[in-house]
Chains A and B, each alone.
Chain A
Amino acid sequence: MEWLDWSLVSSTIRMVTPILLAALGGALCSRVGIFNVGLEGLVLVGAFAAIVGNHFTGSLFLAVLFAAAASVLFSLLFSYMTIGLKANEIVVGVAINFLALGLTTFALRAVFDVKGAFYDKDMAGLPRLEIPLIHDIPVLGEIVSGHSPLVYLAFLASILLYIFFYRTVTGFRVLAVGMNPVAARSLGLKTTRLQVMAILLCGVLCGVAGAQLSLGQVTMFTEGMTAGRGFIALVAMMMGQSHPLGILASSLLFGFMDALSIRLQGFSLPTQFTSMLPYVLTIVAMFFLKDKNGGASSNQQSAR
């Protein structure tokens, strides 16, 4: 049973990657005062674009780049609608989700001429990196080594984002915009530009999340393959209080519960309760941490 448990941790790490990346993107948006419900759509677009890029260029690097670019295009639309036209961000986010689902399905038909799913056995997925020394250490090697590069990138991104927010000048400015846009503007900060940059960077992260989804675990695209992961990322973001390291922890919890509920299916235990636990915990966490998270949502209330 011992090795079974360690593989549980390893599969947690794999499952958590798309959620973690998207949640970090959501945190960037929430830190500039924008509640991005469109994560689901952005990840889906990234997943599709990654497959397209891989199919036509044959290069995995270009595929990931293409995924990021496609998601950035969608987040450009999001930022233009919300910031440029002052449209309600929830509404635009919902619309982006529908649009992504519809357009990827159409594009699947138009580009590959298939229905439902596209799979090409010649197409290579993301390679598994075997870290030289660590790979040979018994337990640690199994957990840490042998993932796709994007998995490591995701963990790196959360640390980089932490450094960005709390150790750099631009990061402080971004936080200031989220806390009080009016005050930030009166200090001479270019709030609009910072907001747009944050949304576009969110697009990059979501695109990479999509690439991991379609090229990392399996090498295929199916219609609506995100299956709610974008919304789970949104919840992980809330639970982590939009703090990069908090999100790392909450995403790991979600990933672990996910992996656990798959494992529990074998024992005919009700998996609904394990899946429910992260949401319940998030609500409980809100009771204690309610003050920090006022920014994005209080804006929302007054916008109507």
Chain B
Amino acid sequence: MSRLAKGGLIDRARSLAFTFDGRSYGGHAGDTLASALLANDVRLVGRSFKYHRPRGIVSAGAEEPNALVELRAGARREPNTRATVAELFDGLDAQSQNRWPSLDLDLLSVNQLLSPFLGAGFYYKTFMWPAAFWEKVYEPIIRRAAGLGRMAEAADPDHYEKASTFCDVLVIGAGPAGLMAALAAGRAGARVILADEDFLTGGRLNAETREIDGKPAAEWAARVTAELASLPNVRLMTRTTVFGVYDSGTYGALERVADHLPVPPPFQPRQRLWRIHARRAVLAAGATERPVVFGGNDRPGVMLAGAVRTYVNRFAVAPGRRVAVFATNDDAWRGALDIKAAGIEVAAIIDVRRAVAASLVQQAKAEGIRTLLDGRVTATHGKLLTAIDIVADGRPERIAVDTLAVSGGWSPNVHLTCHHGGKPAWNGAIAAFVPGTVPPLLAVAGAASGAFTLGSALTDGAAQGAEAAEALGFPVPLPDVPAVAEESVAIAPFWHVADSRGPAFVDLQNDVTAKDISIAHKEGFRSVEHLKRYTTLGMATDQGRTSNVTGLAIMASLTGASIPETGTTIFRPPYTPVSLGALGGHHRGKDFRAVRLTPTHEWAKARGAVFIETGAWLRAQYFPRPGETDWLESVNREVKAVRASVGLIDVSTFGKIDLQGPDVGTLLDRVYINTFSTLAIGKARYGVMLREDGLVMDDGTTARLAPEHYVMTTTTANAAKVYQHLEFCLQVLWPDLDVAIASVSEQWAQIALAGPRARDVLARVVDAGVDVSHEGLPFMGAMEGSVLGGVKARLFRLSFSGELGFEIAVPARHGAELAQALMNAGETFGITPYGIEALGVMRIEKGHVSGNELSGQTTARDLGFGRMASTKKDYIGRVMAGRPGLVDPQRPAFVGFKPVDPSQRLRAGAHFLKIGAAASLENDEGYMTSVAHSPHLGHWIGLGLLQRGPERIGERVRAYDPVRGGDIEVEICAPGFIDPEGERLRG
């Protein structure tokens, strides 16, 4: 065990058991998986992406490139999780990945021998030919060899949630700067959200042994956190990563509600995706340490110096027994002192600089640590690190160590500042990129802005928090900034030990070496964007947190340009990976989108209806009876019943728009091709409306109930579109028209009653005095009345089926009651409920157009409505419908079809060809839009669009359907297969 005897922010009283690759280990509450593994001396945790090299834990945070593991098992298995941020819980089951058969013996490490072929650009060079090999041979091999973890093989059993919230000031990061910013804004009374990806606030304060106001810094962080938690206007969101900055002060954040628990508590989601709307934001995201590149720098045991310090101080874990520090900067020296203070042997500090502040050197020497200036690490040894070779002041030496703590300096976490396209700027004094142009209303504080000392982080955080609050009208005196000792942050820019031995890795996650960068340089891929794509540097899931700057610094040294001249890539959201589950939220499976139910849904369900989705609606497709085995059998029965006697169907899904005002007639004349201003009160009319480009938008009937009151129906699919169109007409095109409209689709249940017995049934449900006789309610009549003893109703005599038909509208809450009353009233006539399949069959038999014909590509003329269009007025689409291409007589036009051999089935989508013509695009004459089996005629019938169709009645054409192997002869006929004179519906 490598757990230190004392210290750390872990709860030693709470022990947690976990497994890694099937072996059992123990940890404590407050551990991450990484700290617990190190505490158990597990130092080999993964194999690298390309070469399958053994890898250990490198970091202690979100930047981890190596320690990617699978967490949990079964349906909850989650690949590619960074062990350094996975909070330990009792029973955690973790697996290493990308190794076979085991982590210790990985046969694919043979890839290392192939490394000459797998270098930069190998994709483009090695697997070029033969082309057929790519899909069958190369890709499967590459996919198996280079891969990360395995996905779960079953649906995720957990829930994910989405939520929105608002605040005045969003503070991102709860380190010293973030805590001060939140304190300043919170005390001012602003609504503050303080978010941090960690489960503990304090940031680096928990990882270092600093003092604030004479007390341990972690204690100060806990005290400030407690004060913030006590403020009602401050919301603390730990385990929450702000991953993106979007427009107008909108931020995306992921809250890991239950990732630290074996399973989410009842009624709790696993994760919650937040959309945070903030009037101001302070980015206090801190900084990430970067390594120095040298040969053998990927050996398990080589870690970032700040990470070693974190494991020692925060988790009370000794990552090794004998540590050397390889540094370019002062901060790493303080790390070495912390490590030594914890009782771990520090063999040496090797610093690339010739001169280091005397005070640091003295402190190190006082602790008995060797200090080797002007030093380099030139090689490493052991499967797990056992020794390093160094050169210091020109003298080579081998030092036995099991841990090498490396620091190449710190890079501010500028990621979120780039999300609006801002480019980071180079700051030579700290040898790092700092925020350039930042998103509007976002300020950067502390280490994220390049202010690396603790004192400056506290001062800067307080100032930015107060400024954000004050700008929003919450004036407040700056909070007292607590006293801290000033530390030195000197650094020498140093990136790469060029004369070191062994592969020197720049990007550990994608296995990109310094040599790959020189290959890219030699082959001309020198700009940062080319470098990135050619070598895949920085393109792994860690987005190059520990590698980007080093990689481009090495390229800069090769080209001789400076780092700012070489440039940098920018970061895109998300800051860290966001699971698809969280992005989907509740919108999955049946809940992918909202479902609308008709007023008679439960009633239909009780009658055994089979439902089908039509847009957002769930509608009764047909009502099978016991003994019926085939849907067509049920549909044929329903159609025959309607044509022979009477049936009913819920048509509430049609869009219903109420229009009132003196100018309604004028409006309707301008949106329909035909005239409505002259429509008599108490009458309905079928209308067709166009888009301004001259193509048909929608159709439906509109009735006039009073001089200034019309009711429009639209197709189900276009209800919202037509409503929006009418509002556009009224608000944008013709605001002078005095018309008010309202969507009443949800308010009215509407039931169509059809068949020769329809009137007999209707007469039994209307109240006394409501005359539904032929005289009282003639064809295309509309009236208001009441049914069921006082339920107000609108009665229309309309027909879609071709039979005598009525539509009865009642307030939606009475819909099911009306359906049942009609069933009772029609019992003696054998009334039959029918679904939309039967409705479709009857409209095809009757030759009405529907969605398949209103395809957005057809004109009124194409559909046979040419003569309906008024020539006495303008209407939307009129001018454009007159374009030569839209009045071309060669355009396919609407006609009916029947198979020459009545036993043959028609298929919608079949294309028409002249008999004997080759099946080519040039010979294409149109296509079949709708087909149905007509129980009335006893064979299949179809509707379609055919060149000069109406002139070719009686002619035969080929209906060619290569997709389904159909090729039959059909006869062209008029698009009305039943009662073409319309005697039934006028009866």
- A associates with B: no
